[in-house]
Chains A and B, each alone.
Chain A
């Protein structure tokens, strides 16, 4: 088995890993619906969105890996970053690694994430890093389309049958505590804001709440109360679920190093 790589702890690299890993793991969970969605159109929609997110993750991880070298460390390519990092070196928000759940969980998570990512890409389009700004200019159009699609489903399910409304309420209770982590700042955000690389994620919280709130209101869903609980995926301390995602995602490259087809 190839040795795991160690990634630069430079805040610029870490900020990019948070974005790239959140897209990558979110994509893995969406792609699990391939062949399992309730109707074929949604099967195609979920995997199309996963494909967009994988494309975004590839671009951001490629940039992170080349910046490692520019900042005086060892360069890594997108494949090394995806397949040869250990769980503790992934920087995705915990919310995206939770099991895909039922259709209500998937749609609510996708809606909340698409709104967040759209807001983030909008700001990153003005990043001081020209490559990141270019990636964001494309990704924002995709995130907008994802938001529109997922929002429609959240409304349809929340304001639907007794069963779909009950499932939607349960999804909201399950997922809500994990959203808070996204908007908690730390030194990585401070550095990104100072260098012009990107916004503090807390700066997106008000817009995110307003846009998601409008969808929830139309869906006749109440946002649950804030809780003290905080997940910590952005700092590399994950839930028990990420290990299983990585086992599946990394198995081939770990077992057959450099394997191609």
Chain B
């Protein structure tokens, strides 16, 4: 992972921001796109247009790398086609599963913190690597609303075991760290200290809401101060290559996003 390029700060791609992204390309280090959103040649052309303006990162949401039933070959082929068209510096996906027994859950669902789950993700990542030859793979920590029974290790130990056994980089979602620490009552810095920080390549930031007593990583609000502090802590300890500000709903004026991008870039610059 050491020879991956430094990109700086950018945003997750939303169709509504297509022209804003191109207009403000000089201020964006990268734009992160979701291959599952590409449904044909026009989608691929859009991605190529953006790639010509700003470096594009590809971030999968539906490969279900934690599925015991294995990967869906059609989804893997689709990801490979999009990656071939865009030539991203790396590809990222989540440490989660999204489907089982023909049911599309519609959300990133946690895995039990067990050795079997570690081996399953590692096996699926190995298969994915065969379809994306030479492309570094990053795995992302998720926010989990509930814990699964029979855990054999802590969350941090689980994430470490997964990325080490899969020989993958780490996409550290600091908003998920903030959400999990708050909901499951642990110290986020102690959690970060337990991770293999030398594998961190990319960071995600977002803002959530409190609902039913839980902090929900909804990607609908500005990045909270707690997550900015975690980025400052992290950037001073390991060379982060890219920070992506995620926003899925309640889209604000693009200028607001750019202000968050600038703040992230400043934190990276101070730390470099």
A and B together in one complex: no
User: A residues bordering B, Cβ < 8 Å?
Assistant: none
User: B residues bordering A, Cβ < 8 Å?
Assistant: none
